[in-house]
Amino acid sequence: MPPQAIALILLSAVMHAAWNGWMKGSSSRLAYLWWGQVLAIGLYAVPIVLTYSLAVPAPVWPVLAASAVCETGYMIAIARAYGLADMSLVYPLARGSAPAFVTLWSGLWLGERLPWAGYMGIALLILGLYLVSLPGAGDLLRPLRAVATPGARWALVAGVFIAGYSTLDKVGVSQMPAPAYTLWTFLAMNIACAPAVFWLDGRSNVAATVRTGGWRLLTGGIFVLGAYFLVLGALSIASASYVSAVRGVSILLGALWGWRFLGERFGRLRLIGAGLMVVGLVTLAVAG
């Protein structure tokens, strides 16, 4: 895997973990995510329009539309999941399940075939993500048992949608500039998601979110769109399976943040998990 792609993905992971933490802390999570993207699109649109052609090749339109549907589904699913369960459960399930789905779908739809070391790296990374999400050895099966809860099921639905738009975007950015493709995708997604935002969060909560969101709302929007740009840049030079797997390192960053700033425990299991994730990243880099 090219080192440039790894750098793009790791920076994206930092931004992704941050805005997820802010979204989890919001009382109207779907509205927070939607408003943040609306504000960020306004900032990103001007330089993109001035720099890139916005022409969409005919074969890309159905890909772009399908990606926007998956993005909308992801927004709704992750907001519902955060409303029903802790971030320490939802985030690992959503981000950790996506690489497995992407590996399957990119093989079926895009014909991508990884060397054995690539699959080993993905397996090590997913195992590391699993261990990082555990509170202790006595809860070894907690993520599996938790699948029966509504919050976990919504998190897995979010993982399916993540895998869907990740695979589709690999096709989209191969046929037009990634920034222009991203702008079109997010515009379509925000328009499609608007009725769900007002229906699920309520008109008054949507209005209150933009009034009280402050710098976290604007920064979160910049981060979510910026992280997406970085991932699309990585997709243009690396396989979808690798990109989706390495993005999971954001879970480790979230655990480190909780340990450093929130007083959460970072014990032996999480240390082992972090080590496995590093080995998985190195294996992916060597395999690519």
Both structure tokens of 182? 């991203």
Q: Which of 182, 150, 160, 157 is nearest to 169 (CA)?
A: 182
In this prediction, residue 139 carries a pLDDT of: 63
Query: Whole-angstrom Cα distance, residue 83 to residue 27?
Result: 9
Per-chain mean pLDDT for the chain: 80
Both structure tokens of 38? 């609306």
pLDDT top residue among 194 and 249: 194
What is the DSSP secondary structure assignment for residue 174, as one 8-state letter?
Answer: T
pTM here is 0.79
CA atoms within 13 A on the CB side of 266: 16
Instruction: Classify each residue of 35-51 as buried b or exposed e, where b means 16 or more C-beta atoms within 10 Å of its C-beta.
Output: bbbbbbbeebeeebeee
Band (pLDDT 50/70/90 cuts) for residue 52 is very high
Q: How far from 114 is each of 120, 248, 287, CA to CA, in Å?
A: 10, 18, 8
pLDDT top residue among 69 and 167: 69
Domain boundaries, the chain: 3-287
Q: Over pLDDT 70: what percentage of the chain?
A: 82
Q: Is the pLDDT of residue 153 over 60?
A: yes
Q: Is the pLDDT of residue 262 over 70?
A: no
Of 85-94, 186-195, 215-224, 249-258, the poorest mean pLDDT is in 249-258
Of these ranges, 140-144, 194-198, 220-224, the one predicted with the greatest mean pLDDT is: 194-198
Q: Do residues 137 and 32 touch, judged by C-beta distance below 8 A?
A: no
In this prediction, residue 158 carries a pLDDT of: 92
Q: At what angle do helices 116-132 and 268-287 cross, to 10 degrees?
A: 160
Contacts (Cβ under 8 Å, ≥6 apart) of 220: 18, 19, 22, 23, 32, 33, 36
Q: Is the pLDDT of residue 13 over 80?
A: yes
